[in-house]
């Protein structure tokens, strides 16, 4: 336990002091500011249509695609990958891993501590962004969130963190398997692009009904997109197509019902994350430290 906590704090401190973190944070805040700016222009017309005024802060953009959800879906992978792509092989190539493992700590303290620190970093980043938008929005529209909206936002944050953790887990997985840092980074990016491709060109969705959707939902990007849509746009009830959701704005679901719809998604995301982490864990634990 001692080892885990020590590794965790060290990695957390590292995550927060690296340049890559500063760049990521700048990117994320840039996105948030941009989203608020778009909101400011469209929120007035949106407000008249719905009783979920506060959530409109995150979804109103005048575009077919809600900007905030869009950025979360596509940039969260970058955050996760950036935080984890060199977790293990970086330490190997810099020669610190064997020194680290010769200390009296359990080996899993290293990988657990790193993963945990990454997840916490992601969580801090996301929470602060959502709060930032909430704060600015609150001043702008002067309407506090209803309890239902709060529940939806918290659920959204929770799922976002899991989604981020998946990408972090994937990056860590590659960093355990590949010797070179560049290779593991590229592999993660490749997976990211593959899933984006699947999402952007949904030829699987055109397969007969349920089968196509099932294949699409292997991709965490699809999963998260659907979850985010259902949570932040209460009118959404049918998954997959955004157009359908916005077509029936008046028939909003309760938070409980929305959660019920996305429950399987949530479980799938958690499962994917767990699988990634479990594989890297086992591989790392069994790996032999060798000379050279």
Residues in contact with another protein by the rule CB under 8 A? 2-3, 6-7, 10, 14, 17-18, 94-96, 98-106, 288-291
- Within 10 angstroms of residue 94's Cβ, the number of other Cβ atoms is 11
Of 8 and 167, which has the nearer Cβ to another protein?
A: 8
Kindly state the smallest distance separating residue 104's Cβ from another protein, in Å.
Answer: 4
Q: Which residue in 33, 39, 52 sits closest to 149, CA to CA?
A: 52
Q: Where would I find the H helices in 18-106?
A: 19-47, 53-59, 67-84, 89-94, 97-101
User: Smallest gap, in angstroms, from Cβ of residue 164 to another protein?
Assistant: 24
DSSP code of residue 235 = T
CB 228 within 8 A of CB 161: no
The token pair that represents 290 in the structure block = 């060798």
Q: How far is the CB of 242 from another protein (least distance, A)?
A: 43
Q: Whole-number minimum distance, CB 174 to another protein, in Å?
A: 21
Judged by beta carbon, residue 139 or residue 290, the one nearer another protein is 290
Q: How far is the CB of 89 from another protein (least distance, A)?
A: 13
* CB-nearer residue toward another protein: 17 or 147: 17
- Return the number of the residue (17 or 210) whose C-beta is nearest another protein: 17
Q: Which residue has the tokens 């292997």?
A: 218
The tokens describing 32, both together, are 């948030």
- 254: which residues sit within 8 A by CB, 6+ positions away? 148
Distance CA 89, CA 91 (A): 5
Residue with tokens 């998946």: 166
User: Residue 97 CB, nearest distance to another protein (Å)?
Assistant: 8
The H-or-E segment that residue 227 falls in is helix 220-232
- The residue (of 110 and 125) whose beta carbon lies closer to another protein is 110
**C-beta of 12: minimal distance to another protein in Å?**
13
* Residue 63 vs 93, nearer CB to another protein: 93
Asked if residue 198 lies in contact with residue 222, where contact means CB atoms within 8 angstroms, the answer is yes
Indicate the residue among 41 and 103 with the shorter CB distance to another protein.
103
- 202 Cβ neighbours under 8 A, 6+ residues apart: 212, 216
**Judged by CB, which is closer to another protein: 24, or 269?**
24
Cβ(179)–Cβ(92) below 8 Å: yes
Q: Compute the least distance from the CB of residue 285 to another protein, in Å.
A: 12
Place of tokens 């990408």: 167
């Amino acid at each position: 336990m001692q080892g885990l906590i020590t590794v965790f704090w060290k990695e957390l401190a590292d995550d927060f002091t690296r340049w890559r973190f500063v760049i990521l944070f700048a990117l994320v805040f840039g996105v948030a500011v941009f989203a608020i700016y778009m909101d400011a222009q469209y929120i007035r017309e949106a407000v008249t249509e719905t009783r979920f005024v506060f959530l409109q802060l995150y979804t109103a953009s005048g575009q077919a695609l809600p900007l905030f959800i869009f950025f979360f879906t596509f940039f969260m992978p970058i955050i996760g990958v950036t935080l984890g792509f060199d977790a293990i092989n970086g330490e190997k190539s810099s020669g610190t891993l064997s020194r680290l493992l010769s200390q009296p700590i359990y080996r899993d303290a290293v990988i657990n501590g790193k993963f945990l620190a990454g997840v916490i970093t992601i969580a801090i980043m996301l929470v602060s962004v959502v709060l930032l938008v909430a704060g600015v929005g609150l001043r702008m529209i002067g309407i506090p969130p209803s309890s239902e909206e709060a529940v939806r936002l918290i659920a959204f944050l929770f799922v976002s963190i899991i989604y981020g953790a998946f990408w972090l887990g994937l990056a860590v997985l590659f960093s355990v398997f590949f010797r070179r840092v560049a290779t593991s980074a590229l592999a993660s990016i490749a997976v990211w692009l593959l899933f984006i491709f699947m999402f952007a060109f949904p030829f699987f969705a055109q397969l007969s009904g349920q089968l196509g959707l099932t294949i699409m939902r292997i991709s965490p990007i699809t999963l998260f997109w659907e979850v985010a849509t259902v949570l932040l746009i209460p009118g959404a009830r049918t998954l997959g197509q955004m157009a359908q959701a916005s077509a029936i704005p008046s028939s909003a679901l309760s938070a409980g019902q929305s959660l019920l719809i996305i429950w399987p998604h949530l479980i799938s995301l958690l499962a994917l994350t767990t699988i990634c982490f479990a594989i890297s864990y086992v591989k790392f634990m069994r790996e032999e430290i060798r000379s050279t």
